[in-house]
Amino acid sequence: MSAYNMYVFGKNGLLLHYSEWNRKRRSNMTLDEEAKLMYGSLFSLKNFCRKVSPLDFKDGFMCYKTTSYMLSVLETLTGLKFVINTDLNLSGTRSLLEKIYSEVFVEYVVKNPMWQIGQPIQSELFKTKLHEVVNQHVASVQRS
Amino acid sequence: MVVHSVFIVSKSGGLIYSHEHNVPKVETERLYTFPLPFQLEERNKRVIVAFGEQGGVKVGHCVSAINKVPVNGHLTGDNKPLLDFMRNEQNYPLTIKFAKTPVSTNEKIFLASMFYSLYAIACQLSPEQKSSGIKTLECDTFLLQCLQTVTGVKFVVVSDTKQNGGESLLRRMHELYSDFAMKNPFYSLEMPVVCELFDEHLVKGIELVERTGTAFA
């Protein structure tokens, strides 16, 4: 059970942060291009879901599964997107993303006076805390 | 389990079959006085709620009838601009029906090709060595399941989230497609499936899945 990688996007689609844990395959493009492709596809995916949904599309959580990985997206009301790729057996990604937003992003990015809104995150503290929370989650799922 | 709709996308991304099975109606009708509690705007030849949610009416819903007369897109029943009509205080009180904006056939074709490319991108962005495209897509309101055959045809089922048997319905669809659509001498590849037998059996299959959780009797 593991998490592969994670993207954080600002509301205009800029990649604010990228982390990876044990990613097995590189795509044949630069991180920058990959992030743009990812954001673009999420944007379309959301519109797609809104149209396909038989009832009113309510909150921003969405996840898809392929044969080998699962992608989960949490969009906040302010337009930030938290995207995590995990393997198929990792459960509770929604609560994980919510936790990352409220306990890591808000605490170590929003409350950091050096961060300019909408700019990529430089803070090392954010990275360490993020890794801590994700590893903790993976470990707790493994135990249960 | 409730199956909302099913569709088939050909290997080049065209919509070749779609069927709406059990789509819940989202609409509200009420008497309103001036001024309306919503902000309306015209989008895609429809009058749509742009702001303000109240009494079951949500942002994105469109006006579908006024004083029990169905509207004609952005025009009233007697072909006057709807938005101007609704902004005129003299016309009130009005009974307005709001409904979830329907998806037109054109939009369905567009959505099918969108799904086709999203499916391909999902393989490309995979962090794992080998991956298929989107197999299941889950939101809070629906679950979409997709089966791609070896020949590249995609079968898609949209159902509620508490569902099982989607997989078996997809396999059943594939079976019916090969039995009734492909063996039909009047069917040409990549073209829409118009085949009564296929429709009949598919509806039976869907109903079976809704009752028993499997599409194979």
Domains along chain A with CATH numbers: 3-143 (3.30.450.70)
Domain ranges of chain B: 3-23+104-212, 34-92
Whole-angstrom CA distances from B171 to B135, B154, B215 are 13, 11, 8
- Looking at per-residue pLDDT, the higher value among A106 and A55 belongs to A106
**Cis geometry, peptide bond prior to residue B102 (ω within 30 degrees of 0):** no
Distance to chain B for A14, nearest Cα, Å: 17
CATH of domain B34-92: 2.30.42.40
* pLDDT value of residue B26: 87
Q: Please state, in angstroms and rounded to a whole number, the distance separating the CA atoms of residues B101 and B61.
A: 5
> Which residue in A has a C-alpha nearest to residue B57's C-alpha?
A56
* pLDDT value of residue A95: 93
* pLDDT value of residue B92: 86
Q: B134 and A66: CB-CB below 8 Å?
A: yes
pTM of the model: 0.91
Q: Please state, in angstroms and rounded to a whole number, the distance separating the CA atoms of residues B137 and B163.
A: 13
Res B157 pLDDT > 90: yes
* pLDDT value of residue A45: 94
Considering only CB atoms, which chain B residues are within 8 Å of A4?
Answer: 127-128
| Parallel/antiparallel/unpaired status of strands B46-51 and B143-148 | unpaired
Res A59 pLDDT > 80: no
Classify burial at B100, counting beta carbons within 10 Å of its beta carbon; exposed 0-12, middle 13-18, buried 19 or more.
buried
* pLDDT value of residue B102: 87
- pLDDT band with cut points at 50, 70 and 90 for residue B214: confident
How many Cβ pairs closer than 8 A exist between chain A and B? 115
Q: Please state, in angstroms and rounded to a whole number, the distance separating the CA atoms of residues A134 and A140.
A: 10
Q: Please state, in angstroms and rounded to a whole number, the distance separating the CA atoms of residues B21 and B159.
A: 10
Residues belonging to chain B with any Cβ–Cβ distance to chain A shorter than 8 Å: 4-5, 23-24, 26, 58, 60, 100, 103, 107, 111, 114-115, 117-118, 121-142, 144, 158
| Pair B169, B151: CB distance under 8 Å | no
- Residues of chain B with pLDDT > 70, as a percent, come to 100
CATH of domain B3-23+104-212: 3.30.450.70
- pLDDT band with cut points at 50, 70 and 90 for residue B188: confident
- Residues of chain A with pLDDT > 90, as a percent, come to 77
> Which tens digit of pLDDT belongs to each residue from B5-58?
999 999 999 999 999 998 888 889 999 988 889 999 998 889 999 998 888 898
Average pLDDT of the segment spanning A130-134? 95
Average pLDDT of the segment spanning B64-87? 88
- pLDDT band with cut points at 50, 70 and 90 for residue A48: very high
For tokens 């952005």, what's the residue? B74
Considering only CB atoms, which chain A residues are within 8 Å of B62?
Answer: none
Whole-angstrom CA distances from A106 to A81, A82, A134, A137 are 13, 13, 16, 18
Q: A41 and B118: CB-CB below 8 Å?
A: yes
ipTM confidence: 0.91
Q: Please state, in angstroms and rounded to a whole number, the distance separating the CA atoms of residues B20 and B102.
A: 12
- pLDDT band with cut points at 50, 70 and 90 for residue A100: very high
Distance to chain A for B118, nearest Cα, Å: 6
